[in-house]
Structure 1
Amino acid sequence: MNTRLTMRQSQTLGMNQQQQQSLRLLQLSGQELEKTLIDEAERNPFLTIKDARTQRRANGPATSGDWLDSIAAPSMSLTAHLTAQADLLPSTDRAVAYALIGFIDDTGYLTEPPAQLADRLGLSHDAVLDMLHVVQSFEPTGVGARKLAECLLLQAVEAGEADDAMRALLDNLPLLAEGRLGKLARLCGVDDAALGELIRVLRCYDPKPGLVFSPADNGWLNPDIIVRASPQGWRIDLASGALPTVTVVKDATAVAAKCRNADDKNWLSNCANDARALVKAVAHRQRTLLSVATAILEHQQAFLNEGVAALRPLTMREIADELSVHESTVSRAVAGKSLSCPRGTFELRFFFASGVVQQDGEAASAATIKSLIKALIATETSAAILSDDALVERLRAQGYDIARRTVAKYRESVGLGNSSERRRANILRGATGQALRAA
């Protein structure tokens, strides 16, 4: 046996404790951050807090009415739920875990390929995959999957039901969608009865595990950003009173220094440092959120003036480049945040949309096309149902050169059936109306 001194080069994503705290606070929703601040104020004697609801009552009734205060705060978001689990990891792993969580959407799926994330984070592909497997072990089971089959497999493994037959079924989900059960049974190596039992088990799994944390389940959004019209244009502000005011007790360091007991003195000194770090982290979060929202609306001013039909294609990478921050920072900033403007309240993620190119070379967002399709279908009558080909022609007449399959995809994504389904629905509504009038 010999002793040797060797050198090895490796890549890591390192952050100090204050940076990790800033990232953690950034991706919390307003309600989650409020709870975090209240909890910290109860733990730390050098933090003072003035509750946001108390501030609102002191400032008089809000324009929307104080009845909002009686509504329970929304449950924890998926991002916050995953972040709380990542907080339990070793400090050397948290930064990568936070980055991955920033790219998990509301349904629970990873939105970027690991190889692409590795390039963006400056890490090896294996390092990102290793941490992805850790995140996939978080609750809810199935989170962090890259596709439906992987999401369902994670749940099958957790339930102890991932035998060869189940794995074969998950590898051939398109056959199940097509109803080709005979071929599927042969591939799974089971008879028809056993295949039926496999399918029954499969239907017990959740294809979108993240939605149990979706803000949409709460029925309303408490905005983080307020947009108002002013003589100088659109004014963008943080929601007043949305968060408690947190301050550090005056002369906290001096108070700690006067303590004679060494252990108590050390604890008080740490509390003073933690209090100052928290106040700075909250201020940094608010500045980042406001700068990201401002940059987004600089691109989407047409939406404010004209509505959803004027939304432009926009990516998080564009905003990140403009602000000279990492794309994951933008992803964290918009996660669970919403914006209130004269046109309603919208999640910040709503303003990031893929797009298509119009005939004049300008780009239009997918949301714009979807709104146009909905408007066209809303005008049809039972005697003149628009086929997808007809929708393509109507859109081309408005300057949008879109393939038929794209129109079908957008139509389905907004919950509208094909022409045959809509025709049957119209006939059914007509028959129901006649029956009611006759009664």
Structure 2
Amino acid sequence: MLVPGLIQRQSQSLVMTPQLRQAIALLQYTQTDLAQHLRQVCETNPLLILEPGDTASDAASSPDDFHDDDPDRFTTAPERPEAAAPRPSARDELLLQIRLSFPPDEQNAALHLLDSLDESGRLPVSVADLAGRLHMEARRLEKIRQILMHLEPAGLFARSLEECLAAQLRVRNRLDPAMRTLLDNLDLLARRDWRKLREKCALDQDDLLDMLAEIQALDPRPGLNLPPPAPPIEPDLIVRPNGAGFRLTLNTRLLPRLRLDGTLRARIDSHTETGKALLTYAAEATALIRALQTRKQSLLTVGRAIVQHQAAFLRDGPTALRPLTMREIAEHTELHESTISRIVSSKYIDTPQGTIPLKLFFSTALTSKDGTTQSAHAIQHRLQALVAAEGDNVLSDDALTALLQEEGFSIQRRTVTKYREGLGIAKSSQRKRLRRTS
């Protein structure tokens, strides 16, 4: 018979001290947010002195040429629930589409076109004039513009209302000959000359009303949904070629320097109430400085591991992106996977391929029969490039699969179809019909 009694057990549990919470919070801050946070802290802590950071455009600290045999490492607590990341703005999503749709040498031209839009999303300057400013062929720039018009939101970069509406109808697979005729006669629509419109479109009244309803559902000014241009992204890390390898540095251009006021600290009298309060401030200041150093070390450690793994991407571009998971980086750096997630969140790195988010380096893997793996991001990027360059020779999913396999990608037709649909690319039959009607 069991007799109730007291039993002592020993167990371990994680205690979230204020210092640990602070270290975790600093890992998630962007450069801009961290600089603002430090200024706010210094306003309330008399023992902290804030000095201007580096002002040179290429200022950086802690160069890392990957010859360090004893990298700084630390481990953190298991993952805690985090607030959901804010939804990217319409402009952020458009910028991502541009990065995925164009090679690096055409991305600058696409961004220049984006900066040239008026508030309604139209391109008020001729392509020829813009091509002259960019020192490139007008035909090539026009091809870029045509691709841009059919990104989301469709209709941006148009030179006229007719072109704007046509782009939106084309992505919906509704730009048939009758709709094209209607767009060619928008002046009749403005005058409400229904009889002439029916004659020109060869439609009865009900069909014409259906088409008018479709036109009314379109957005004649898609640019109004885009926020103003954001300031240039300030990268957290900078990587540059250095002989056969790369040099990684921490960008400190925007970050102020933080130090403890040693003179005031030495004068503290711990026997007074004011002195006791100042000692508390001193402890908080010291903890913050240590947390900043930990953030710096962990960011460099993770950045080093990513650069070593993705060296081919840095040299050759998106198609050379290798599969990578946060668990692999966690094992390589001896950091917890939750720490990796916090470090790469909202952080950017300036690379030979442009300034890109650290999260872009992480991609699922496709494994071929011979055991080799390839990045899903790299395959999707190449698939999008093939479709963008197909011209009148529209490629079926079978043809796309064959081309990708010839280039060394281990992929099957069903995966190509899944990626194509996920990227919002219409079927080959729809793309052919759209080209005929356009």
Residue 333, structure 1, aligned to residue 343, structure 2:
yes
Does structure 2 retain, via aligned residues, the 8 Å contact 1:360–1:399? no
1:82 equivalent in structure 2: none
Greater relative contact order: 1 or 2 (C-alpha under 8 angstroms, separation 6 or more)?
A: 2
CA drift of 1:218 comes to 3.9
SS of 2:233's partner is coil
Q: Equivalents in 1 of 2:262, 2:256: separation in Å?
A: 18
Q: Equivalents in 2 of 1:425, 1:50: separation in Å?
A: 60
Of the candidates 327, 344, 354, which is equivalent to residue 344 of structure 1? 354
Does structure 1 retain, via aligned residues, the 8 Å contact 2:315–2:352? no
SS of 2:80's partner is helix
SS of 1:356's partner is strand
CA drift of 1:216 comes to 12
Distance 1:216 1:392, change over 3 A: farther
Residue 409, structure 1, aligned to residue 412, structure 2:
no
SS of 1:243's partner is coil
CA drift of 1:8 comes to 6.6
CA RMSD of aligned residues (A): 3.0
CA drift of 1:29 comes to 1.1
Q: Equivalents in 2 of 1:412, 1:217: separation in Å?
A: 29
Q: Equivalents in 2 of 1:335, 1:14: separation in Å?
A: 24
Distance 1:325 1:63, change over 3 A: closer
1:381-392 equivalent positions in 2, closer than 5 A? 381-382=391-392, 384-392=393-401
TM-score (norm 1): 0.58
Alignment deviations for residues 230-286 of structure 1 (CA, whole Å, 9 cap, x no partner): 2352110001323111111114432222x76x3212111101111111111001101
1:223 equivalent in structure 2: 235
1:127 equivalent in structure 2: none
1:33-72 equivalent positions in 2, closer than 5 A? 33-52=34-53, 55-56=54-55, 59=56, 62=57
Question: Which has more helix, going by share of residues?
Answer: 1
Distance 1:373 1:51, change over 3 A: same
Alignment deviations for residues 398-419 of structure 1 (CA, whole Å, 9 cap, x no partner): 3333232321222233332221
Does structure 2 retain, via aligned residues, the 8 Å contact 1:359–1:399? no
Does structure 1 retain, via aligned residues, the 8 Å contact 2:47–2:285? yes
2:111 equivalent in structure 1: none
CA drift of 1:343 comes to 1.0
Alignment deviations for residues 52-76 of structure 1 (CA, whole Å, 9 cap, x no partner): 4xx41xx5xx369xxxxxxxxxxxx
Does structure 2 retain, via aligned residues, the 8 Å contact 1:34–1:243? yes
1:265 equivalent in structure 2: 275
Residue 372, structure 1, aligned to residue 373, structure 2:
no
CA drift of 1:359 comes to 5.6
1:237 equivalent in structure 2: 249
CA drift of 1:342 comes to 1.6
Give ranges in structure 2 of 5+ residues lacking alignment.
60-76, 89-226
Q: Equivalents in 1 of 2:390, 2:423: separation in Å?
A: 17
Residue 279, structure 1, aligned to residue 289, structure 2:
yes
Q: Equivalents in 2 of 1:404, 1:275: separation in Å?
A: 59
2:404 equivalent in structure 1: 395
Q: Equivalents in 1 of 2:302, 2:395: separation in Å?
A: 40
Does structure 2 retain, via aligned residues, the 8 Å contact 1:252–1:272? no
1:100 equivalent in structure 2: 81
Distance 1:229 1:400, change over 3 A: closer
Give ranges in structure 1 of 5+ residues lacking alignment.
65-94, 109-214, 431-439
SS of 1:101's partner is coil
Distance 1:256 1:373, change over 3 A: same
1:31 equivalent in structure 2: 32
Q: Equivalents in 2 of 1:287, 1:348: separation in Å?
A: 16
SS of 1:367's partner is helix
Percentage of pairs with the same residue: 37
Distance 1:10 1:410, change over 3 A: farther
Report which of the two structures shows the higher radius of gyration computed on alpha carbons. 2
1:35-184 equivalent positions in 2, closer than 5 A? 35-52=36-53, 55-56=54-55, 59=56, 62=57, 99-101=80-82, 107=87
Count of matched residue pairs: 282
Does structure 2 retain, via aligned residues, the 8 Å contact 1:335–1:349? yes
CA drift of 1:371 comes to 1.7
Q: Equivalents in 2 of 1:398, 1:232: separation in Å?
A: 26
